[in-house]
Structure 1
Amino acid sequence: MYRLTSKENSLSAPSPDSDPIEALAARFGVTPIDAELWWQALTHPSYANEVPGSKHYERLEFLGDAILGALVADELYRRRPDAPPGELTFLRSVLIRRETLADWAEGVGLRDLVRVGRSARGFDAVGWRTVLADVFEALLGVIWLEHGLEPVQAFVRKTVVDRIPSYADARRELEPKNVLQERLASDGSEVAYRVVHQDEHGVTVTVSWPGGEASATARSKREAAVEAARRALDAIDAESGAGAHA
């Protein structure tokens, strides 16, 4: 799976002795102008609903999302001059997907700064990663408003675009079921998905093929099937690698 690792993340977590907003802005390479705007980017709607006078990040997220998409598209267009539009679309989707942005947000300690209301404190891991990805985009919106294009572009290049995956890896991440089907169909094998367990906590799906099976649990049948397909591809690759070295 295409993920940014902690070693790849060159940004450090905030110092406990520093002002949290100044420390956060420094990790983006800027100096904060309006601390309240930065706190707004760190405020979940649940907190704003419970604390009169506070503002949440959704408008800033809207701005940051548009800026991020445009900057990544521009970089891909310039760096992959021979890539067709479909390939560029896949690469952009991988680079700006929730999981990628949440990896960066977690890597720089944003979760400790996000303000959430009582109703959101029970978020599971998936819920928190969605919030962190939203906050990441909101912070890009703040930097754009305060400092303009250059620092946002520099940060996006450093943290996102400089790690462009191959087209094959992008397809594997976004369309693992299709990739699995194509790979097995090449030798006449078939793929079958089935739900093996379901309760209030989630759904477990198993994918089977002539050479084995893989399972995954997620909040929905679709998400579980997609993750099971990724694990199946990992298993097939591992088996192929072992066979090559036998």
Structure 2
Amino acid sequence: MDIAIKPVRSYVYGALGAHLLGYVGPPDDTSKEEAKKFTFYQGDVEGKSNVEKTFDQYLRGQPGVRYLRRNAKGVIDGVLREDPPKQGANVYLTIDARIQSIAEEALRAIARGAAVVVDPNNGDVLAMVSVPSFDPNTFIPSIKAKDWTTLQKDEARPLINRAISTFPPGSTFKIVTSLAGLRRNMSNARFNCSGGVSYGEHYFRCWIAEKGGAHGTLGLTDAIKVSCDSFFYQYGNAAGIDSIDKTGNALGL
């Protein structure tokens, strides 16, 4: 019998920063043949996502190796050489645990959402939050099949990092469209909202149509005020895709 010490990853703050930190799990490429090379084999873990995966080579360190001697009967009777393990490096993030905790608590009050807090002085990311999230401790030493199925089937999609995922910008992009039109001297343009507008075979509804209404004829200022979809479909089409693209690039988008 041989007693060995094996380090185990532990996330002391549970789900705090889960999408940012990621999680660890058994390597995908460890074969039975690899395990047979060792008399006493201890499976390792590796970073599977996000910070854990990105900095895995620094956090991992190096495993120790003990070379044993066997006698004529095949019984181990001594140690020929022992190379001690080397501890992995410490990785320091710009994340402020207090700010991260405050931001997560605020977002959990509304069930779903994402937030990124940036230091305006140097661009350091102080918090990156995505809600709902998960507890990475669930993946240690390896996640149970039923727990993995539960996470995948959850309609709230807790595994998705909303802070860095791609989502349609929605009405926030109307400002970009507005600027694109202004750069083409469309400040006096007016368009009518009858509840929607047709392009090709598709009819694009304005949000107010769901309430049985229409905005009527609007200028840019009023269209922004009421966030009229019909106006901006027409305004954006008149401004042109090239103008919108150039304006977006000018704004760093």
TM range (shorter): under 0.3
Pick 1 or 2: higher relative contact order, CA cutoff 8 A, min separation 6. Answer: 1
Task: Give the structure with the higher percent strand.
Answer: 2
TM-score with structure 1 setting the length: 0.24
Task: Give the structure with the higher percent helix.
Answer: 1
Larger radius of gyration: 2
